[in-house]
Structure 1
Amino acid sequence: MGKVTYKRLKGSQSFRQRLLLATLSSTPILIEDIRTDETWPGLHKHEISLLRLFETVTDDCHVEINETGTKVKYKPGIIMGGRQHRPHDCGVTRSIGYFLEPLVVLGLFAKKPLTITLKGITNDSKDPSVDTFKSTALPILKRFGVPSEGLELKIESRGVPPNGGGEVILSLPVVQSLTAVNWIDEGFVKRIRGITFSTKVSAQFENSMIRAARGIINPLLSDVHIFTDHRSGPQAGNSPGYGISLVTETTSGCFISTDTTVSHTRDEETSGLADDEKKGLTPPEDVGHEIANVLLGEIAQSGVVDSTHQGLLFLLCALCPQDVSKVRVGKLSPHGVETLRNIRDLLNLKFIIKPDPNTESVFLKCVGFGMKNLSRKVS
């Protein structure tokens, strides 16, 4: 065997995408200087958990972490997928949404369809909630030719910070390759759907959020349905909390979403409860009011996806066959810009970016990397 050549990267940013793109392109990577200047240097718990997750769904993957956690060597393996019988514990420093974005893309190119149970936080204010993922990210995959059959995210129980206790089951089909898209028409708003949830608090919190959200949206659109999901007992996880997820469907089949969660949070550095434990939580009326306004802001940006899902959209475009994909998004989000840089660095692929003079949206065009699932049997 020859000596392995590692592509050298620095810093803690974009850890998820670097692992994902390195695995898909079979590029061994060496990440150095991970939070070397911070009080708590090195990898955080959720990043170590993500590495373990990649080890679970791949075979012959090799990970080396130095003593301080500031340096990681990662040599990708073969993406196996299959039915994972042991649940993966995502911990309580980041929500399950943090793990889902790289996992759904990775699983498409596995040897066998993936089914895996993830445990931890289902809803928080940092990452997209599992509800948003189900209503928005999965339809985006279908745009790129991923079959509906076998594509599912089931919420078994909910868990909010600080102690989690949620559980979801993700099922993914495998594809031979994705389909390039020409997706630039955002269409007109057709309907708005949503879901509120509450765990270990009164169900009245949900009604208050719905009334407040409807107060903003109903004067503009009549087709609005917001469902409730009140959990108690083991299905409510280990901490009290409540939240709302809203999604807009347009006439051209775009899904624009936003969500938020209110709960006490844990201070990552001390593992104790953060200062908001001493303060009262945001009233549900304010939560509903705020999230409805955020959704209207996302719709106004004229993109085919919301700002949260720009990264996923660009990744899928980049992994398409060597054909042209053209998409339109609103103002580029920091996550979207970081994704474009990672695609350039690890796939050697660049997007052509052109602003739309009539709106504040941006057109992006690229020729795909030509990612093929070599381990899947052709029927």
Structure 2
Amino acid sequence: MAAHTLLKFEGHNYFRQRLVLATLSGKTLRIDKIRSDDQNPGLRDFEASFLRLLENVTNGSVIEISYTVYKPGVITGGKVSHDCGVARSIGYFLEAIIALAPFAKTPLHLTLAGITNDNVDLSVDTLRTVTLPQLKRFGVEDGLELKIIKRGAPPLGGGEILFHCPNVRQLCPVQFTDEGRIKRIRGIAYCTRVSPQTANRLVDSARSVLNRYIPDVYIYTDVYKGPESGKSPGFSLSLVAESTTGVLLSAERAAEKGETPEDLSRVAAKMLLAEVRRGGCVDSANQWLNLLFMVLGPEDVSKVRVGKLTPFTIQYLRDLKDFFGVAFKIKPDATSQTIMMACLGIGYSNANKKTT
């Protein structure tokens, strides 16, 4: 890898993904004009916090905030604790770390505190039930775990999670092209510092929509009390549709001010149905992770069928080309309205992994 290659970007968009790609590729990153037209230019607190977390899980990284230059070091892993604050949820931080953790020197044991569920970032529920199984498909399995210790609703948070990820020498190639048929829907309805009956209302309302399409719907209720319930009242619903071939498609919704459990459930259920309609073997939220691991896989062809590409994924494909020089073969399927994505892996190897 060209360790001293400098890549330049402008603007605050795609900040996390470019830092992750720089860390994996070993390329120095410079980002100019961050909110240059804003009254308050530069990095926000949560972005600076993410940089601190990145510093904690790596060794030898050099970060020059004044110039926004990032020279990546070695991903070390080990035991790390970080307070995410309340500007962005835990998902903002954890989603990016999940992409780095398998390539650490030692297995990562990460404790994060903050908001567990909101409508801006992926919730810890979706990361646990949908994102982590994606890693298993690429060979990251033994000891992979995400535990929710405390719930934390916005605005004050107070949640806490534990994330354990093993490290691997290399990923496995993937051929994931058969969508199968949706066979069941599972979900988690959680509430904190509100009536326990709220969780049941979430379940009943969601089932009233979903049972029209499929009989096998089961939604777990997760009621938190006392110290484990965080600092703010709140409730949310996370749904997962599973197909006969192991496809996992997700949708979720957290309560906004004044929103009833019934309204929230109906919105979440319709979001899940829209995700199912898009098709593909990977849902919208996890397209980027699958594409990244396909690029980092062995020097072999990996194929994944996806639904409509999100704007985030389209930019991610451009960034993958900049950092790794890999272009995807993109083949639309007119019959199923899905897209077949294929690429040749670069044979990325975790040279830092200690042999046991």
The equivalent position to 2:105 in structure 1, one of 100, 107, 111, is: 111
Question: Are 1:323 and 2:317 an aligned pair?
Answer: no
Q: Which amino acid is 1:361 matched to?
A: T
RMSD, aligned α-carbons: 1.3
In structure 2, the partner of 1:233 is: 226
Report the secondary structure of 1:339's partner residue. Answer: helix
Letter in 2 for 1:253: G
> Secondary structure, in 3 states, of the residue corresponding to 1:294?
helix
Where does residue 214 of structure 1 map in the other structure? 207
Partner of 2:259: 282
Residue 85 of structure 2 corresponds to 91
What residue is the counterpart of 1:124 in the other structure? 118
Q: CA deviation at 1:106?
A: 0.7
Asked whether 1:338 is paired with 2:331, we answer no
Amino acid at match of 2:133: P
Matched, 1:23 2:17: no
Provide the C-alpha distance between the structure 1 equivalents of 2:336 and 2:243, rounded to a whole number of angstroms.
18
Measured in 2, the distance between the counterparts of 1:236 and 1:173 equals 29
Q: Which residue of 1 aligns with 2:69?
A: 73
Match of 1:368 in 2: 345
> Which residue is equivalent to 2:330?
353
Alpha-carbon distance, 1:346 to partner? 1.2
Q: How does 1:178-327 map to 2 (within 5 A)?
A: 178-264=171-257, 281-327=258-304
Native 8 Å contact 1:194 1:245 kept in 2: yes
- Number of the residue aligned with 1:142: 136
Q: What is the one-letter code of the residue matched to 1:121?
A: I
Q: Which amino acid aligns with 2:111?
A: T
Residues 108 and 172 of structure 1 are in contact (CA less than 8 Å); yes or no, is this contact kept in structure 2? yes
Amino acid in the other structure paired with 2:20? L
CA distance in 1, matches of 2:288, 2:10: 20
Q: What secondary structure does 2:353 align onto?
A: coil
Checking the alignment, whether the CA contact within 8 Å between 2:106 and 2:354 is kept in structure 1 is no
Q: Is the 8 A contact 2:75 2:105 kept in 1?
A: yes
Mapped to 2, the partners of 1:378 and 1:5 lie a distance apart of 29
**Whole-Å separation in 1 of the counterparts to 2:14 and 2:239:** 27
**Distance in 1, Cα, partners of 2:210 & 2:8:** 49
The residue number in structure 2 matching 1:9 is 9
Measured in 1, the distance between the counterparts of 2:346 and 2:33 equals 29
Cα distance, 1:39 vs structure 2: 2.3
Which residue number in structure 1 is paired with residue 41 of structure 2? Answer: 41
Say if 2:144 is the partner of 1:151: yes
Aligned residue for 2:140, secondary structure, equals coil
Determine the C-alpha separation between the residues in 1 that align with 2:12 and 2:44: 10
Identity of counterpart residues, as a percentage?
Answer: 47
Cα distance in structure 2, aligned partners of 1:247 and 1:5: 41
Distance 1:282 1:90, change over 3 A: same
| Cα distance in structure 1, aligned partners of 2:187 and 2:143 | 23
Letter in 2 for 1:363: M
Equivalent pairs counted in the alignment come to 354
Match of 1:270 in 2: none
- Give the C-alpha shift of residue 377 in structure 1: 3.0
Structure 2 gaps of 5+ residues are none
Q: Distance in 2 between matches of 1:34 and 1:369?
A: 31
Report the CA distance between 1:242 and its aligned residue: 0.6
Q: What is the Cα deviation at residue 5 of structure 1?
A: 5.2
Letter in 2 for 1:127: D
After superposition, the Cα gap between the structure-2 partners of 1:233 and 1:349, relative to the gap in structure 1 and judged at 3 Å, is same
CA contact (8 A) 1:242 1:263 kept: no
Secondary structure at the aligned position of 2:43 is classed as coil
Q: CA deviation at 1:263?
A: 4.2
Q: Is the 8 A contact 1:161 1:263 kept in 2?
A: no
Give the residue type in structure 2 aligned to 1:199.
T
| 3-state SS, counterpart of residue 112 of structure 1 | coil
